[in-house]
Amino acid sequence: MLWCVPKTRVLHRSGLLIRSKTVKMTSPLLHNRNQVMAPKKATRDESPPPSDPHGIFAGMVVFLVEDGVQNRRLQVWKQKLVQMGATIEDHLSKRVTHIFAMNPEALLQKVGSDQRGLFKGRVVLYQWLEDSLSSGKRVPEDLYHLKLESDKSSSDYISSDEETPKLKRRRSSSPDELPHTPSPKTPKAPNKDQVTALQSSTPYNPPDLNKDITQIFGKLINIYRALGDDRRSFSYYKAITVIEKLPFKIQSAEQVKGLPGIGKSMQDHIQEIVTTGKLSKLEHFETDEKVKTISLFEEIWGVGPATALKLFEKGHHTLDDLKNEDSLTHSQKLGLRYYEDIKQRIPRHEAQEMELLLQKAAEDVLPGVVVVCGGSYRRGKSSCGDLDIVITHPDGNRHKGFLLKYVKHLKDMKFLREDLVFVTHSEEGTDSGVDTYYGLCTYPGRELRHRIDFKVYPRDIYAFGLIAWTGNDVLNRRLRLLAESKGFRLDDTGLFPATHGSGGKRGAKAGASLKFDTEKEVFDFLGFPWLEPHERNL
Q: Is it true that the peptide bond before 472 is cis, omega within 30 degrees of 0?
A: yes
Q: Are 426 and 400 in contact (CB under 8 A)?
A: yes
CA distance 374 to 190: 28
What is the distance between the alpha carbons of residues 109 and 65, in angstroms, rounded to a whole number?
9
Q: What are the C-alpha distances in Å from 208 to residues 240, 271, 409?
A: 10, 18, 46
Helix axes 211-226, 305-313, angle to 10 degrees: 60
Residue 512's CB: how many other CB atoms inside 10 A?
Answer: 16
- The DSSP symbol for 158 reads E
Q: Which residues of 297-328 are buried (b: 16+ CB within 10 A; e: fewer)?
A: bbebbbbebebbbebbeeebeeeeebeeeeeb
CA distance 115 to 105: 15
Say whether 496 sits in a helix, a strand or coil: strand
Strands 98-101 and 370-373: unpaired
Residue 453 among known ligand-binding residues: yes
Choosing from 98, 180, 269, 399, the catalytic residue is: 269
CA 2 – CA 492 distance, rounded (Å):
28
Quick check: is 269 catalytic? yes
Query: Contact, 450 vs 440, CB < 8 A?
Result: yes
Name the residue type at position 473: D
The total of other beta-carbon atoms located within 10 Å of residue 488's CB is 25
Other C-beta atoms within 10 Å of 387: how many?
20
Phi, psi of 405 (to 5 degrees): -70, -35
DSSP 505: B
The CA-atom distances, in angstroms, between 407 and each of 199, 402, 413, 446, 458 are: 42, 9, 10, 19, 18
Three-class DSSP category at 286? helix
| Residue 351: DSSP 8-state | H
The answer to whether 156 is annotated as binding is: no
CB distance 514 to 198 below 8 Å: no
Q: Is 388 annotated as a binding residue?
A: yes
The helix/strand/coil state of 469 is helix
Task: Give the side-chain half-sphere CA count within 13 A for 473.
Answer: 10
Q: Please measure the distance between the N-terminal and C-terminal CA atoms of the chain and give it in whole angstroms.
A: 37
Binding-site positions for Mg(2+): 386, 388, 453
Binding residues: 386, 388, 453
Residues annotated as catalytic are 269
